[in-house]
Amino acid sequence: MDELVWGYPIVFHLFLVSLGAGVLAVSAYLVLWRSDDPAAFALARYGAFLAPLPLLLDGLVLILDLGSFHAGYWFKFLNLYKIVTASPMSIGTWLITAFIIISLLYAHTFLRMPAGPDDPRVGRRRGLAWAGLAVALTVAAYPGFLLSGMQARPFWNSPLVPLVYFFSALVLGIACKLLFLAWRTRSTPTTKDRGDGPGLTVWLARIGTYLSAGELLLVILFVVFAHRGAGSVTQAVTVIMGGGVLATVFWFWAVAVGLVLPMLIMMVAAFRPPATLEGVLLKAVEIAAPLLLLFGAFMLRYVFVVAGQITGPVGL
Amino acid sequence: MADGVRGKVYGRRRFLKQLGQGTAAAAALAYPHPRSPHAATAKNPQVRYAMVIDTRRCVGCHACSVACKAEFDVPLGFYRSWVEYVEKGTFPDVRRSFLPRLCNQCSNPPCVDVCPTGATWQREEDGIVEIDPDICIGCKYCILACPYDARFANPVTGTAEKCDFCLHRVRNGLEPACVETCIGRARIFGDLNDPNSEVGRLLATTAVTVLRQEMGTKPNVYYIAADHTGEGDARAGQYVRVTTHRRQKDRR
Ligand code: SF4
Ligand code: SF4
Ligand code: SF4
């Protein structure tokens, strides 16, 4: 019987951090490199408003989960801000704080209407988009560094873990953008191919396919290296291999349903012959695929958090 | 870096306080400083407290666990120091041995490296890894980073907790509670840098092992004749069972 030291709040932490980072990264990308497309601008604007929210919620979740908070010392978490150490958690605290500030400032540049690609705040917005992109990409990899630096936890102790989280965060960013497309009123067409390239939906589906393929490859590499290795790491990874307690959650829910299936949906939508994307396929790529990706990302984090704690070094 | 500096200040403040109480002299008498040619650092302290556990003398009575619980009022289910029962073999070829466990006061402690608040650090004066409950926020990162599962989250104080070699006793010239209470004299405590101390002599003359040496943590708890077998190591058909009274039942 194993006691979990880190429970659901940490699963949510890893999920929310990735979500916010991915949304900000994609939003900044759209502002910096697709600002000529009004639909992309509108999407970037939604992204800018969403990005700080998961991180703010995450901060709350983390504080509520602290032992000190449980014991009644509600503001003891401020000790985190009295020092900078080489601990990934200390660096992460400062990074996430910077992320929240930058993303709020960035969102502010979209606030006053009419916001558009040519409004007077464009300079400030682009500057903050650069800063946001930098901080978002760093925060995207941060959960991986939080987990992977501990020799005592062989399941997490792999240099591939930060990369998996990095890709997963960007996939989450794309997923949220696709959901926005489904939700917002279609004042500008996003499903038709434009003269100079694919429409926004197809573009997002294409990037989403590449990123989820990258994530899938990294996940497979992670498992293969761990499984083909020796000692503690190989022993630890048995919990997700055949017969392991987390095998079904990992392979079926996190990988097959939460990553491969939405990747295939996005692939079909992205690489169909040029025409209008509509009907069931449009619904699938704008609603089903992103929801599956969100679910899969959560399950992946669940497996990681639990597997790392129920396994340990071999021998004593 | 910051940990070291803070540790120094903390240590000095406490030292002066003790001096006022006249207890530092007693501590110095009990554990005299060696004639150390090098400057003391956290990784290379003047006094290096260590424990040698002679498992041949341990009868698994748990007196040490109980003494420790009483000393620190450790909550139910958690232990700063505990004893594992290692059973293996098939009748008539069977063996049961005992493995007293505690924080190894590692010279290279991963728990210190991960702490985001500097609440846990290694003392420059004697190498003991300490936790300041006034600073610890209870993030539990150190608990996961310790390869010996030596830490736990105290549900009452909301902070991480572990054995500190009974620092409050040691600095007053006493032995740790578990050592003092051990009926088999299985636990021996002292200054490793003092060649005349019992631990110094034992280490010089006896074959000892440390736990999970491959982790590179450089533990300062040494074992004589310890059975390192775990359930995961059981060769085909061999019966191995490791039990403890901790809430966390499995070694990890
Ligand atoms: S045994 Fe664990 S808690 Fe103790 S010093 Fe070593 S790593 Fe830290
Ligand atoms: S639980 Fe306390 S001592 Fe451990 S890493 Fe967190 S703040 Fe540091
Ligand atoms: S008190 Fe001594 S003999 Fe008893 S269990 Fe502890 S170490 Fe062993």
Does B250 map to a domain?
no
How far apart (Å, rounded) are the C-alpha atoms in residues B232 and B56?
23
For residue B86, pLDDT over 50 is answered with: yes
Closest ligand 2 atom, residue B145 Cα: 5
How far apart (Å, rounded) are the C-alpha atoms in residues B14 and A112?
57
Shared-domain flag, residues B54 and B23: no
Report the run of H or E that residue B160 belongs to, with start and end. Answer: strand B160-161
Nearest CA to ligand 1 atom 4: B103
Number of domains in chain B: 2
- The minimum CA-CA distance between B123 and chain A, rounded to whole Å, is 17
How far apart (Å, rounded) are the C-alpha atoms in residues B169 and A229?
46
Low-confidence winner among A34-43, A92-101, B17-26 (lowest mean pLDDT): B17-26
How far apart (Å, rounded) are the C-alpha atoms in residues A289 and A152?
36
Q: Is the CB of B110 under 6 A from ligand 1?
A: yes
For residue B14, pLDDT over 50 is answered with: no
Q: Using one digit for the tens of pLDDT, what is the confidence trace for A51-74?
A: 999 999 999 999 999 999 999 999
For residue B34, pLDDT over 90 is answered with: no
For residue A261, pLDDT over 70 is answered with: yes
Shared-domain flag, residues B69 and B1: no
Check: CB of residue A256 under 8 Å from CB of residue A233: no
CA A223 vs CA A92, B145, B242: distances in Å: 26, 22, 29
Mutate to test the pocket of ligand 3, among B52, B62, B64 (most ligand atoms within 8 A of CB): B64
How far apart (Å, rounded) are the C-alpha atoms in residues A285 and A266?
6
Q: Is the CB of B42 under 6 A from ligand 1?
A: no
CA B151 vs CA A127, B103, B105: distances in Å: 45, 8, 11
The percent of chain B in helix, strand and coil, each rounded to the nearest 5, is: 30, 20, 50
Does B15 map to a domain?
yes
Tokens encoding A138: 């760093």
Nearest CA to ligand 3 atom 8: B58
- Name the residue among B2, B3, B135 with its Cβ closest to that of A79: B135
How far apart (Å, rounded) are the C-alpha atoms in residues A102 and A52?
9
For residue A89, pLDDT over 90 is answered with: yes
A152 touching chain B per CB within 8 A: yes
Does B213 map to a domain?
yes
Does B36 map to a domain?
no
Shared-domain flag, residues B68 and B9: no
pLDDT (0 to 100) of residue A196 = 62
Check: CB of residue B183 under 8 Å from CB of residue B58: no
Shared-domain flag, residues B87 and B10: no
How far apart (Å, rounded) are the C-alpha atoms in residues B130 and B160?
10
Shared-domain flag, residues B6 and B118: no
Mean pLDDT of A85-107: 97
| Non-local CB neighbours of B9 within 8 Å, separated by 6+ positions | none
Shared-domain flag, residues B118 and B15: no
Shared-domain flag, residues B17 and B114: no
Low-confidence winner among A278-282, B160-164, B181-185 (lowest mean pLDDT): A278-282
How far apart (Å, rounded) are the C-alpha atoms in residues B161 and B107?
18
Shared-domain flag, residues B16 and B140: no
- Cβ under 8 Å to B: A residues 92-151: 92-93, 149-151
Q: In chain B, which residues have their Cβ closer than 8 Å to the Cβ of A313?
A: 147, 212, 214-215
Q: What percent of chain A has pLDDT over 70?
A: 94
Mean pLDDT of B14-37: 41
Q: In chain A, which residues have their Cβ closer than 8 Å to the Cβ of B114?
A: 87-89, 149-150
Shared-domain flag, residues B18 and B131: no
Domain residue limits at B12: 1-30
Low-confidence winner among B2-16, B72-86, B141-155 (lowest mean pLDDT): B2-16
pLDDT (0 to 100) of residue A187 = 52
pLDDT (0 to 100) of residue B234 = 67
Check: CB of residue B155 under 8 Å from CB of residue A66: no
Check: CB of residue A314 under 8 Å from CB of residue A157: no
Shared-domain flag, residues B11 and B96: no
Q: In this complex, how many residue pairs, one in chain A and one in chain B, have their CB atoms less than 8 Å apart?
A: 134
More confident residue, A113 or A162: A162
pLDDT (0 to 100) of residue B152 = 96
- Name the residue among B99, B147, B158 with its Cβ closest to that of A73: B158
Mean pLDDT of B65-93: 95
Cβ pair B215:A313 closer than 8 A: yes
Q: Using one digit for the tens of pLDDT, what is the confidence trace for B225-240?
A: 999 988 877 666 789 9
**Structural domains in chain A?**
8-310 (1.20.1630.10)
Torsion from C-alpha of A202, A208, A210, A212, nearest 10 degrees: -150
- The closest of B79, B56, B74, B70 to B181, measured between CA atoms, is B70
pLDDT (0 to 100) of residue A236 = 92
Q: Using one digit for the tens of pLDDT, what is the confidence trace for A5-33?
A: 999 999 999 999 999 999 999 999 999 99
Q: Using one digit for the tens of pLDDT, what is the confidence trace for B192-224?
A: 999 999 999 999 999 999 999 999 999 999 999
pLDDT (0 to 100) of residue B39 = 55
Q: What percent of chain B has pLDDT over 70?
A: 82
Beta-bridged to residue B83, according to DSSP, are B100
Mean pLDDT of A170-181: 95
pLDDT (0 to 100) of residue B32 = 40
A248 touching chain B per CB within 8 A: no
Record the pTM.
Answer: 0.90
Does B119 map to a domain?
yes
More confident residue, B156 or A184: B156
Longest dimension (CA), chain A: 65
Low-confidence winner among A57-66, A87-96, A267-276, B48-57 (lowest mean pLDDT): A267-276
Shared-domain flag, residues B10 and B113: no
Q: Give the ligand at the shortest distance from the Cα of B119.
A: 2
For residue A209, pLDDT over 80 is answered with: yes
